[in-house]
């Protein structure tokens, strides 16, 4: 009885965090899931629940989706994944993960320390670069969100545009990953049965988070994104050192 309850509670919180910020469900869910399940169950289960979250958020913000914002990220992501897989076979990823986590924490703290986060109107080419970096880091560490989140926080877009772009981008990447899990046999009947139990909880969480998001002003949302980046960077450092 404890195991289904703990799993559902984990995804309730994970859904709330991503409903509020637009990212972070995996950051919340995975540390506990790997204590409850084998990694081959935890990873596809977290990915499928991530698809539930991002599909809900993509639909909720569908009127703010701009393909011109999302496509550069997606186009850049695919070669980044290929390069990241190449690096993974030839380097010590723990060292790279700790370094990347440190840079992310430093950026987040620096931006939070300023009187007011300053958005910038970036050239379109930065979107391809952010997508590429996301692909590399996703392949290396399974935590590729930071480059896209940093890019979105600097663009000067409205908060709904930022969240819509993040949601559609993460949904697209997650869908490709889920197809890979299915093709490789990771998505088993047990994973599907666990998804049936946890999906209602994750939907309740993401709905609650989205309602709280509606009450945030643009500057508050930007600061929330930066605080989330700091947390994500610290988790990367801890994972690399453990």
90-128 pLDDT tens trace: 655 566 667 767 777 887 787 777 655 556 667 778 999
54 pLDDT band, cuts 50/70/90, is very high
Q: Quick one: pLDDT at residue 220?
A: 82
* Three-class secondary structure assignment of 130-174: HHHHHHHHHHHHCCCHHHHHHHHHHCCCCHHHHHHHHHHHHHHHH
Task: Return the sign of the alpha-carbon dihedral for residues 22, 23, 28, 34.
Answer: positive
Q: Quick one: pLDDT at residue 137?
A: 75
pTM: predicted TM-score of the whole model, two decimal places = 0.79
The pLDDT > 90 percentage for the chain reads 28
- Would you mind telling me the total number of residues written for the chain in this entry? 242
Q: Is the pLDDT of residue 180 over 60?
A: yes
What are the backbone angles phi and psi of residue 81, rounded to the nearest 5°? -60, -45
Inter-axis angle of helices 39-60 and 2-21, to 10 degrees? 40
Q: Quick one: pLDDT at residue 114?
A: 65
Q: Quick one: pLDDT at residue 142?
A: 56
> Residues 134-139: what's their mean pLDDT?
76
Distance CA 15, CA 31 (A): 15
The pLDDT > 70 percentage for the chain reads 86
**Structural contact between residues 104 and 27, judged by C-beta atoms closer than 8 angstroms:** no
Distance CA 92, CA 5 (A): 37
Distance CA 59, CA 162 (A): 14
**Structural contact between residues 85 and 77, judged by C-beta atoms closer than 8 angstroms:** no
Burial of 121 (0-12, 13-18, 19+ CB in 10 A): exposed
Distance CA 170, CA 175 (A): 8
What distance, in Å, lies between the first and last C-alpha atoms of the chain?
Answer: 30
């Amino acid at each position: 009885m404890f195991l289904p309850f703990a799993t559902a509670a984990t995804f309730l919180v994970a859904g709330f965090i991503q409903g509020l910020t637009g990212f972070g469900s995996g950051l919340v869910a995975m540390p506990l899931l790997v204590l409850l399940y084998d990694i081959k169950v935890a990873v596809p289960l977290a990915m499928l629940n991530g698809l539930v979250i991002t599909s809900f958020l993509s639909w909720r913000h569908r009127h703010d989706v701009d393909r011109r914002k999302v496509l550069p990220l997606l186009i850049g992501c695919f070669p980044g994944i290929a390069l990241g897989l190449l690096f993974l076979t030839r380097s010590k990823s723990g060292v790279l993960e700790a370094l990347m986590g440190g840079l992310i924490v430093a950026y987040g703290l620096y931006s939070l320390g300023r009187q007011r986060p300053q958005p910038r109107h970036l050239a379109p080419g930065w979107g391809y670069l952010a997508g590429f970096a996301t692909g590399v880091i996703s392949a290396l560490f399974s935590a590729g969100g930071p480059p896209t989140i940093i890019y979105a926080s600097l663009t000067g877009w409205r908060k709904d545009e930022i969240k819509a772009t993040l949601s559609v981008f993460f949904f697209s990447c997650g869908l490709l990953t889920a197809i890979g899990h299915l093709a490789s046999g990771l998505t088993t009947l047990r994973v599907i049965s666990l998804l049936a139990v946890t999906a209602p909880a994750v939907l309740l969480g993401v709905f609650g988070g989205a309602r709280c998001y509606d009450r945030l002003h643009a500057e508050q949302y930007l600061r929330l994104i930066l605080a989330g980046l700091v947390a994500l960077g610290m988790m990367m450092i801890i994972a690399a050192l453990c």
